[in-house]
Amino acid sequence: MVMNRKCIIRLSRYKNALKRLKALGFVKVFSGNLADAAGVTSSQVRKDFSLFGITGNRRGGYKVDELITKIREILGKNELQKVVIIGVGNIGKALLRYKGFEAGGIKVIAGFDIDSTKYVETSEVPIYPLDNFREFVHDHDVKIGILAVPDVAAHHVSEIMISAGIKGILNFAPIQLRTADDVVISNINLEVELENLIYFVNAQGKTEEGA
């Protein structure tokens, strides 16, 4: 079992690239095509594939359809993945409405909030009180949750999520969640990302001067 996060992320990117290539009519691809599309080297592509036991034909490349299927298998995406969102503020609401997931086999099936003015059970994706969370997660066998509450609430809510049975959290709150070993956390911190950009843009300016 490959536990290298970067490698899994590249696998997702290969899959996305393959979908685009397929839409363009490609039936088979070479490692170099995928490398270009995903912004890596061809040997990186082949090495990644070899880690997962994905093989092609020497001199013949890889068949697009087979590759997509195999990658989806590895990523556990051949069955629909149900996701819930906790915190229906700016970000949470945007993700509830975002249509981009469904094509990829991910479906946001509900939102939860403590603010009762946000409850809407009739909309496309219903929004329930946080009190209903545990029952909902149990009934629908949900394993993945998106945490989009303000930072002061984040740790408390994450504990609610975990105790309800959530095993993977995509955390938008700008704090470092500390959790049990069997729960996987992915952090998206927009301020950190922007600070990163600012640093490298400034650095770029400096090295350009120097060159």
Partner DNA sequence: CTTTTATTGTGAAAACTAATACAATATATA
Partner DNA sequence: TATATATTGTATTAGTTTTCACAATAAAAG
Q: Which does 117 bind (CB under 5 to 8 A by kind): its own copies, DNA, none?
A: none
Give the shortest CB-57-to-its own copies separation in angstroms: 26
d(CA 186, CA 195): 19
Q: Which does 193 bind (CB under 5 to 8 A by kind): its own copies, DNA, none?
A: its own copies
Quick note: the x/- pattern for its own copies over 164-203, rule CB under 8 A, is ---xxxx---xxx-x---x-x-x-xxxxxxxxxxxxxxxx
Quick note: the x/- pattern for its own copies over 65-84, rule CB under 8 A, is ---------xxxx---x-x-
Per DSSP, helices labelled H in the chain are 5-23, 31-38, 42-51, 64-75, 90-97, 133-140, 151-164, 190-210
Q: Sign of dihedral through CA atoms 80, 82, 88, 89?
A: negative
Residue 158 in contact with its own copies, rule: CB under 8 A: no
Name residues contacting its own copies, limited to 101-120 (CB under 8 A). 101, 104, 106
Nearer to its own copies, 58 or 181 (CB): 181
Contact predicate 2/52, CB 8 Å: yes
